[in-house]
Structure 1
Amino acid sequence: MKFLFTRTYNTKNSLRTRVGIGTASLTSLFVLLFLLTGLMANGQVSTKIDTTKIRIGEQFNYEIIVDQTSDVRFPKLELDSLNRIGVVTSHKIDSLRNQLIKKYTLTSFDSGRYVLPGQEIFIKNKKYLTDDVIIDVATVPVDTIKQPMFHIKEIENEPYLFSDYLNYFWGLIAALVIIGLILYFVLRDKPTEEEILSRIPPFDAAKLRLKELDGKKLISQNKIKLYYVELTDIVRTFIERELNIPALESTTDELIDTIGDFNASSKLNIPLETLEKLQKLLQEADLVKFAKSKPLQNEISLHRTDAEGIIDTLHPIKLETKEEGDDGE
């Protein structure tokens, strides 16, 4: 093959150029064109764009088209060097007529001319490069002559909504609940000592009151009458609650007669010795309360022991009666 060559030289009066053209073999040219066409057809890459001129904020579509469907890799999109063009949406790769199409929606918010560089596409690990694209971004013209001018408006306060007060609302509810609980525990009627004792079983309440009576040390303070008043009240209250006999409002004789009748007509089987101790205790207490009698120290201790013994004796009797009644049923 002979090549085109050019020779240039100067003379004193003129510039002369001689050009020599060789004759190319037609067969060699056809072979070369055939090879170039085959290379272009093997994995050809092209681009498509809606427009190259937009206004600020407008969007346009940029597509990369590859005439292959297998072993094609799209790297990350390379934007302009100034980063003035941004990607709005990177669409999924679409397949159409033995082609792969990668579509991007782009935009820009800065006026000027920007170059979207050629993109590298790899087909069967071979790199292909698309053409550069020039994008012109124009500003939106504003006609200040026809457009009337207005004064700058004052800042307006945003209207309040219910949601703005929601935190205060829940805080107020919580505060009211707390205040209500405090008032409930402070102002509620506190149970009296009698109410507290009424919730305790009769036997346990009587034992507790006996210990409290011992702790008051009324005998050492010479409060004999008060001591017998409380001692007999403990015994009478226990009998009334344990045996359901009206012991608090009855006199000594009435109470003894009632217990005797109740014992004879039921299966309590209260020992006669216990009834005699109860009668003696109540009679001695009546003498102290109404006749101003003063028992000796050993007699007071004996009455205290008899009172607890009466309670201990009557309590198992009541339990045994309940068990027998259950067995009978």
Structure 2
Amino acid sequence: MVQIVIFKRIDRLYDPDNHIMKLRFFARAVCFFSILTIQISLHSTAFAQQMFTFSDRDSVQVGDIIELTFVIQGAYTDLDLPDETAFPEEVEMVSRQRYQIEAGQDSLVYRLQFFGTDDVVLPAVAFRLQRAQGDTTLRSNRIPLYFKTVLSEEDEAFRPFKPVFTFARTWWPYILLLVLLIAGGYYLYRWMENRETEPAPSAKPDPIPFTNPLDELRLSISNLASPDALSEYEEYEAFYIELGDAIRRYIKRTYRFPALEMTTREICLELEKEQAASSTVKITRTVLNEADIVKFAHFKPDTDSAEHVLVLAGKFYDLARSNDQNRIDMLRTEYENRTDDNDTDHDIVDSVQQDEGETEDKTEDKQV
């Protein structure tokens, strides 16, 4: 109705012989078409899809839970929900819930756990809407998360330097030279004394039998303390450290890379390079992340958490027994062939002895 009234007034005031009236007619015509264009655009956007992104926090520590909420409005028949691959490796998806508030409006809540050591930006998450006219993809906003260290300000401050102590005279070079001369004379005397009578070659010891890494892993898990017996933080910390080291020792022997000296992320990347099963990589990341939270973030778990991680360790053993059997059989064959040829591989023997020694030491410490 507003456009019709404006158009009638323009037609009534138009006079072709008056230049001022011509200008007024032109201005009012432009205004009419502008109002018409705005109304058309508002009508078209009334049926468009919209997305709103909300986060309950903007700064995180290791182990914190982040709750992301995505609100989608529009006309669609179905909605495809993204999985954990839509988020970076510094966060792990804990749960995902969908609440349909009303027709044409959904609320999606993602709970993520942070395992990073630096600032991270959550990328835009794509949601695909299925409509009768064709599928539509909506992307959320990028969300920055700032890392907060668990160290206190006093620990981060540099300590003052102590004043330089000046010695009256420098005597230590002479004392060191005297000690070296005495040690050299002693070893020379022993060499001259033993040079004439060389000992007879000793008999070669029996070869060390091959130790199955799965048996070592099962023994280490069975030697862990019962979760019901844990009460103090130090006891929980020792429990999680022993469990993480047992899995790292198994990976070191089976996949032949120094897992005891690597972070959880480096171990998972190396397992993928060695073409380990995806289920093995996933359960390894989950168990070691649980142990890292207690070890590095000083997080005190409870009895239920300890029982849960012990169940995960059992699942890791079952997956390793089914996925790594061929690899272990190759290790056994290689070890036995070298032993039969009287060409002992000292690296393999030392590795076996070292791993068995570590297992015995941890068993003795637990008994004490």
Pair in the same fold by TM > 0.5 = no
With normalisation by structure 1, the TM-score equals: 0.33
TM-score normalized by the length of structure 2: 0.30
Which of the two has greater strand per residue? 1
Higher RCO (CA < 8 A, seq sep 6+): 2
Q: Which has the higher Rg, Structure 1 or Structure 2?
A: 1
Larger helix proportion of the pair: 2
